[in-house]
Structures are given as structure tokens and as C-alpha cells.
Amino acid sequence: MGKILCSTGAVIGKANNRDYRLLETLAKELACDGFEFLMYSTWYGEVKELTDAVEKMKLPIPVVHCEKHIGEFISKGGEENLAEAYKKFAVNCEMAERFGAERIVIHLWDGITSDANFRNNIEAYARLEESAHKHGLDLLVENVVCNRKDPMAHWCELRERYPHIHFVYDTKMAAFHGQTDLLYGNEYEWLWREGHICHYHINDYAGGHMDWKNLRALPMGSGHIDFSRFFSYIRAIGYDGSFTVEASAVNSDGTVDTDLLNRQFGFIREYTKEGQCAHDPA
């Protein structure tokens, strides 16, 4: 079984002032195998201090999630926006390399502009991948929600242009577009047969099709995704890679519900046991 990671965004948020120093204490209370470090835009002014502090914690961080506005700059396009996107992406890559990460996740499109100018996003990928490789990182494109087309359509376009491309599949993002079942269909077997999906984000979703008011990551069991079917399928196809739990466990007073997160890790371990037929968490 692959590693079960916790997104640092699940424990570091606005309510605790995005204080990355809390990771050192919180990590001791979490029964995960490591972390997917989520970069926030508010941290660019203290990148050295942040990187030094986290590096000293010696936490296992195999995956870094890029700051999300990078994709928005790419989507907007234009020389100035693209220069800013590439500059910030390089900072994220440098940080990931120092953390010892192997992979870096990007929202290739994002924000209000989203996928409205998808040609910009397709063209930008080559330069982003080159930058990631310089830092020893595998670049993973997430199936981010869209406001023009849908993430699977864009994955197909990207694969056609870049046959070697790698993806991270987010269960909530797929459910938002009503695309969960596409993962199980013959039409999209290439996603796993050709090794494109290299990582999964495990989040629940309680809304309907493109229900923007309910677009938030929920803990497993808080929405309507059939995780029994999902995990049975990825076991059957032989996936033995990693997973990240992303739903926030930060309370309004800034404390963190580590028990909630540990239950999530436990659910995934049960689901991924060989021959296990677990029930969805209630």
C-alpha cells in the first residue's frame, strides 16, 4: 500500500493564522505517513524563514502542492501574468526540492478565469514541467473544477499534446462535475493503463452538479461519494501509490481536530487492505 499523507492545509489555516510552526507539534499527533505541503500566497514574503523552519522539523514531505494562484495567472495570460506565474512556480519548486519532495501538484488553471483561455494553460505546461524537472520533481496536474468545460476534457487535451503527462485525481473535483463514474469506464482506462494518475486527493462532496455553493472538501462520510466502490476499483487495477487527505480539520478557534484526521487515515488503511471490503464511514 502507498503512503497516506495529510495536507498541511488540513491543519494550517486562517483560524490559526497560517502558522506553519504549528506543524512540528501537530505532526506528533497525526497517524499519517507524511505530508503534502500546501503553499499559501501570503507566505512569499517569508519563504526562507518558512523553508528553514520546516526543513528543521525533518517531516516526511514527498509531495508539495503549489500555491493555487499560479494557475490563475496562467489562465489570465499576457506577458506580465505569465512571468509572475513562472517566477512563483520556481519558488515553489525550490522549496519542494529543499523539503526532499518527489512530486509537485499544480492547479494548471484556477480562479474566476479558470479554463476560459485553456490554450494558455496547455502552452504553459511545457515550461512548468521543465522547471519542475530541474529540481528533480514530477509535475502532477490536478483535475481542477472548470467554469467552461470540465477537467476530464482538459486532461484528454493535455494527454494528446503531452503523452507522458502525470495527473493527481481529486475525488471531490470529479464529483463536482459528475465525473466520478468516468474513472471506472473503459473509455478512460488509459488513465491507469498508461500510468497517468500518480496520486489521489481523498475528499468527500455533498453538493450537486457544479453546485458552487457547496464546493468544499469534506471528510470522508460527510458527503455522497461511494468510497467503497472507489477503493475497490483502484485496488482491482493494482494502484499502490499515495493518497492525501485534504479536508480541513481546523476549528473556528484555531485548534485542530486531529482525531477527525486520524479517523480519515484509518478509513483509507481499511479500504486499501488486500481483500478488504469496508463500508463507507458514517
What is the 3-class SS of the chain, one letter each residue? Answer: CCCEEEEHHHCCCHHHCCCHHHHHHHHHHCCCCEEEEECCHHHHHHHHHHHHHHHHHCCCCCEEECCCHHHHHHHHCCHHHHHHHHHHHHHHHHHHHHHCCCEEEECCCCCCCCCCCHHHHHHHHHHHHHHHHHCCCEEEEECCCCCCCCHHHHHHHHHHHCCCCEEEEEHHHHHHCCCHHHHHCHHHCHHHHCCCEEEEEECECCCCCCCHHHCCCECCCCCCCCHHHHHHHHHHCCCCCEEEECCCCECCCCCECHHHHHHHHHHHHHHCCCCCCCCCCC
21 falls within a domain? yes
Number of domains observed in the structure of the chain? 1
pTM recorded for the entire structure: 0.96
Whether residue 279 lies inside any domain: the answer is: no
**Span 9-23, pLDDT tens digits:** 999 999 999 999 999
- Asked, for residue 72, whether it belongs to a domain, the answer is yes
Residue 280 forms part of a structural domain: no
Cell numbers that stand for 71 in this block: 494557475
CATH code where residue 126 lies: 3.20.20.150
What is the average per-residue pLDDT within 141-170? 98
Distance CA 205, CA 102 (A): 28
Report whether 94 contacts 64 (CB < 8 A). no
Whole-number pLDDT of residue 274: 61
Q: What is the pLDDT of residues 86-106, one digit of tens each?
A: 999 999 999 999 999 999 999
Is residue 238 in a domain?
Answer: yes
Does residue 43 fall inside a structural domain?
yes
End-to-end CA distance of the chain: 24
In a domain, 277, yes or no: no
- Arithmetic mean of pLDDT, 219-235: 97
Q: What percent of the chain has pLDDT over 90?
A: 96
Q: What per-residue confidence (pLDDT) applies to 46?
A: 97
In a domain, 278, yes or no: no
Instruction: Give pLDDT, residue 273.
Output: 85
Q: Note the pLDDT tens digit of each residue in 195-205.
A: 999 999 999 99
Strands 166-170 and 138-142: parallel
Q: Which domain holds residue 49?
A: 4-271
